[in-house]
Structure 1
Amino acid sequence: MLEDVERTPTKTSYDQDYESEFTEQEQKKIIHRIDRRLVVTVGVLYCISLMDRTNLSAASVAGMTRELKLALPFPAGSTVSRYSVVTLVFFTTYIFFQPPSTVLIRKLGPRLHLSVITTAWGAVMIGMGFVKNWQDLAGLRVVLGILEAGFFPSCVYLLSTWYTRFDVGKRYSVFYMLGSLASACAGILAYGLMQLGGKPSSCAAPPCPGHAGLTGWRWIFIIEGALTCALGLGSYFALVDFPDMAHKSWKFLNEREAKFIIARVDRDRGDAKPQPFSASKFFRAGLDIKIWGYAMIFFNTTSVTYALAYFLPIILNEKMKFSVAASQCLVAPPYALAAIVMYATGWAGDKYRIRGPIIIFNMLLCLIGLPIMGFHKKASVQYFGVFLTTAGANSNIPAAMSYQANNIRGQWKRAFCSATLVGFGGIGGIAGGLVFRAQDAPNYRPGIYACIACCILSIIIVGLLTLKFQRSNSKAERGDVELEYDDEDDQRGFRYTI
């Protein structure tokens, strides 16, 4: 399992009371039990979430674009296709409904909140398999955005409440790594599901109905939606609550073990104990400029990851001239590499207590991979560029999450930061859905340039934040200032992680 239990030298009497009950080995067993129950459960749910969110590209090459006429411009004469509209409308509600979700999860609890929205969006996915026109598909994508808006920021927030600052990097990596597994397997699964539709050789002209008179791309939505509903119902029992209520979760920690976790996190950063909701505290966090820096890093990263998620099968098919079957299946290997890089960088970040250099490393991978992917003439070499770009961009998601989690303090500031981070990630999804335009096919040069610009901007932002953090830490060491200090906090001595 995920080794190490982060230790810091300073303890309060509250910490001593609960930590002295457990030996070091027992403490590790408690942490590993949380890893198995919490990280794996939210990771599996995120796996199905990402699969449901990004299976449009798989359905597109499986016949959806032809059957629903998604390649036509909307409105007529514009440069935006119906496919881009269907992709983008999801993010209009996905961005808007994220801030209230981080408040709702505290009010309702993670088990009820996450299990209900997961089951509901699974039902919407099933409905997408029965649409008659592209307008119906776009409408369901709007509803899907409302439901999925609450998932990712809630998971980021929930995980941050359970782990210390230098334990959370690996956990975020495993959480997102399971999402990468979805991206790796989605194309292969989609290719299998589309076989439920009719084969072109068996009918006069496509679209060719198959089982129950439905074409293959429809079965992608129906089967994956049914799987989501099943996981959503089961997640009510598998998910756990926040640490202060964890002893009430089904077959999980007892009350003394839960208090040990609260004491451990509180010793690390002084914000483990729940606070009543305060709108002023929640929105006052928006005055902290570094929160918007984290959000911009996440925007830059998701612009690249969503562009790959939505268009990689299409690029493999149109630009690199792979067959439909090969395009679906060749999506998998780059995401497998991304999972390895993701965990390795998460481990290194926790072990050496660094965050910014990890982001820079990931962006450099993208800056090497994107020109190879976009400008080399051989398809095999271009595909190597896909490996580097996919690994760097996807590994930067948990890296950016860890960067912000380490450098803020306070329950409602953490909630606000999670919402803005993922909200800007949603805006990145809009950008990612627009950068590879149909009129730029098959080379997609403007999209490549846009992704390169995003990577360079992330490096610049990390550099500026590093200078700010070093200056602030130096002032704190001299005793000139207390960092991230609230009058209600009982802990001083906070330092930013470079």
Structure 2
Amino acid sequence: MAGEKEYSPSGRDTNGIEDVHKSEHTSEHDSPRSDNDLEATQQDVSEDKETRRVMRRVDLRLLPVLAALYSFALIDRTNLANARVAGADEDLGLSVGERYSLVTMMFFVPYILFELPSNIVLRKIGPGIWLPALATLFGVVSMACGFTYEWTQLLGCRVVLGALEAGFYPGCVYLLSCWYVRYEIQKRFSIFYMLATLASGLANILGYGLSQMDGVGGLHGWRWIFIIEGLVTVALGLLSVLIIVPFPDLATKKTFFSRKPFLSEREASLVTARLEKDRGDAANDEMPMRNIFTYICDWKVLEWAWLYLIAATVSYSFSLFLPIILEADLGYSTSRAQILSFPPYAVAAPWMLITAWLGDKYRKRGHLIIFNNAVALIGLVMIGFATGSPNARYAGTFLGVAAGNTNVPTILTYMHNNIVGQTKRSVASAVLVGASGLSGIIAANIFRQQDSPGYRPALITVIIMNALSILLVAKNLWLYNRMNKKADRGEIVIEGQPGFRLTL
């Protein structure tokens, strides 16, 4: 008897990129396979090898450059904490009242507002121009932060930075999702996000090194943090114009910066065929405003956005405030606090890759999200309440950073596995990343100056949010399974595609 059937939107059996089309086994009573059958099988094997070669090229042209650019987007976004402990506090008066929280928070207001419009522009202009342009511009603004002399000037720079960075991350997520099938995408999301997470962790060490340039050119060390990191971002943005590939349906066309198309007609047909088989939406669909609002209000999209908000709140809490907590609460020196901020991110990297491998292999997402939420919750409890043991509290940061950051690509994959249509995927990507913008505002407001150095109310808030996330995903495991069974019986059609099933 055949094994369990995997459903695709077209109603056909579907396997990942590494699966080879197999002919049915014949019993001793069956007739021998014909020469035509053997030729067809050999052709399938040949096409599969060719497809893998094409996808390796896609990996090399997308993952390293997007990860590098997003790494410096994160660094430019979160280097405020390093600049603060390196002297910006005194020079700009950031410790007065809630100035630091306000400067941190205001980045996320335009970040939320401009994400969806940016993804619409991305589809029209193309990722090879739009994403490098955004990266170059937000690198310039990051450099400008190093030349501010009033806290209000820094605030203005952060607002502009938020507007420019708004479209970059959802644009990267959308571009990646357009190239890969459902049960290989988490590994790609995780590699992309893992490299950025490692760089974010190294940013604290980099920030400490750059702060030692104090006095060079008559500038304080904290200014060099903004200037040098912004300069690297500009250089990467300009270089990426030559590397980032277009969407699959445009990969056979020449670009302004390339005389040769990225893919031949045959290579493009292999890519689009596997996408069509996986979810039935290889071709770009229209983006009328009516559909956009319908997708925004989809209850599943809103739930995924809530889950993503929680995961991003944990991530932002650590990236924005970990050096400060280590220095002010646990009593480490400035240099030691910045150096000790990196090891938790180093642990997060293999954690993230193992989770991605398990998720793609077993085609499960919700179970992994619940597990990581539980681990992050334990880590947050250790940080907030193991007050008699600095070592235990520091150990808690490893659990919180690793599990919390791992849930970011896992939840993105959870969403992308359960929707059909390029427009909906673009809108949902922007909605989820918009939720991460809200999480930045939440993190900036719950970590209040008056709660320093322990920030216990903030930690309790994040603990409660993690618990709510566990309950929501547990509900979805039951509900999605129930919906799949109804679809099996022909009672409902999921995502408007006969044969499509939700990933648990």
| Same-fold status (TM-score > 0.5) | yes
The 3-state SS of whatever aligns with 1:132 is: coil
The 3-state SS of whatever aligns with 1:247 is: coil
Q: Deviations over 1:45-84 (max 9, x none)?
A: 11111111110101110011111011111xxxxxxx1000
Q: Equivalents in 1 of 2:373, 2:286: separation in Å?
A: 39
- Paired amino acid for 2:145: M
The 3-state SS of whatever aligns with 1:25 is: helix
Q: Does 1:355 align with 2:372?
A: no
Q: CA RMSD in A?
A: 1.8
Q: Equivalents in 2 of 1:317, 1:254: separation in Å?
A: 55
Q: Does 1:162 align with 2:179?
A: yes
Q: In structure 1, what is the equivalent of residue 82 of structure 2? A: 58
Q: In structure 2, what is the equivalent of residue 48 of structure 1? A: 72
Q: In structure 2, what is the equivalent of residue 204 of structure 1? A: none
1:421-436 → structure 2 map (5 Å cutoff)? 421-436=432-447
Shift of 1:25: 2.2
Q: In structure 1, what is the equivalent of residue 319 of structure 2? A: 309
Aligned residues of 1:8 and 1:268 also touching (Cα < 8 A): no
Match of 1:240 among 245, 270, 285: 245
Match of 2:329 among 319, 327, 339: 319
Q: Equivalents in 2 of 1:85, 1:406: separation in Å?
A: 37
Shift of 1:235: 0.6
Aligned residues of 2:494 and 2:501 also touching (Cα < 8 A): yes
Aligned residues of 1:302 and 1:432 also touching (Cα < 8 A): no
1:434-449 → structure 2 map (5 Å cutoff)? 434-449=445-460
Q: Equivalents in 1 of 2:20, 2:156: separation in Å?
A: 51
Shift of 1:482: 1.4
Could you list the runs of 5+ residues in structure 2 that have no partner in the other structure?
Answer: 1-15, 23-39
- Paired amino acid for 2:276: D
Q: Equivalents in 2 of 1:7, 1:483: separation in Å?
A: 25
Shift of 1:7: 4.7
- Paired amino acid for 2:427: F
1:313–1:132 Cα change, 3 Å: same
1:242–1:21 Cα change, 3 Å: farther
1:319–1:423 Cα change, 3 Å: same
Return the index of the structure with the highest Cα Rg.
Answer: 2
TM-score, reference length from structure 1: 0.91
Q: Deviations over 1:260-281 (max 9, x none)?
A: 1111111100111012322222
Q: Equivalents in 2 of 1:259, 1:106: separation in Å?
A: 20
Aligned residues of 2:132 and 2:240 also touching (Cα < 8 A): yes
Shift of 1:459: 0.8
Q: Deviations over 1:441-476 (max 9, x none)?
A: 222110110110111111111112222211110111
Aligned residues of 2:51 and 2:271 also touching (Cα < 8 A): no
Shift of 1:341: 0.6
Q: In structure 2, what is the equivalent of residue 404 of structure 1? A: 415
1:89-108 → structure 2 map (5 Å cutoff)? 89-108=106-125
Q: In structure 2, what is the equivalent of residue 141 of structure 1? A: 158
Q: Does 1:415 align with 2:420?
A: no
Q: Equivalents in 2 of 1:23, 1:6: separation in Å?
A: 11
Aligned residues of 2:487 and 2:493 also touching (Cα < 8 A): yes
- Paired amino acid for 1:375: F
Shift of 1:8: 9.3
Q: In structure 2, what is the equivalent of residue 253 of structure 1? A: 263
Q: Deviations over 1:11-36 (max 9, x none)?
A: xxxxx9xx859432222221111111
Q: Equivalents in 2 of 1:318, 1:258: separation in Å?
A: 55
- Paired amino acid for 2:105: L
Match of 2:189 among 172, 193, 209: 172
Q: Does 1:482 align with 2:496?
A: no
- Paired amino acid for 1:389: G
Shift of 1:6: 5.1
The 3-state SS of whatever aligns with 1:484 is: helix
Aligned residues of 2:377 and 2:400 also touching (Cα < 8 A): yes
Q: In structure 2, what is the equivalent of residue 369 of structure 1? A: 379
1:16-95 → structure 2 map (5 Å cutoff)? 20=44, 22-73=46-97, 81-95=98-112
Q: Deviations over 1:339-383 (max 9, x none)?
A: 111111011000000000111111111111111111112211111
Q: Does 1:497 align with 2:481?
A: no
- Paired amino acid for 1:43: A
1:284–1:7 Cα change, 3 Å: farther
Shift of 1:254: 2.1
TM-score, reference length from structure 2: 0.90
- Paired amino acid for 2:316: Y
1:220-299 → structure 2 map (5 Å cutoff)? 220-248=225-253, 250=258, 252-299=262-309
Q: In structure 2, what is the equivalent of residue 119 of structure 1? A: 136
Moved more, 457-466 or 339-348: 457-466
- Paired amino acid for 2:117: P
Aligned residues of 2:21 and 2:45 also touching (Cα < 8 A): no
Q: In structure 2, what is the equivalent of residue 337 of structure 1? A: 347
Q: Equivalents in 1 of 2:482, 2:191: separation in Å?
A: 32
1:190-209 → structure 2 map (5 Å cutoff)? 190-197=207-214
Q: Does 1:465 align with 2:476?
A: yes
- Paired amino acid for 2:297: L
Q: Equivalents in 1 of 2:295, 2:18: separation in Å?
A: 27
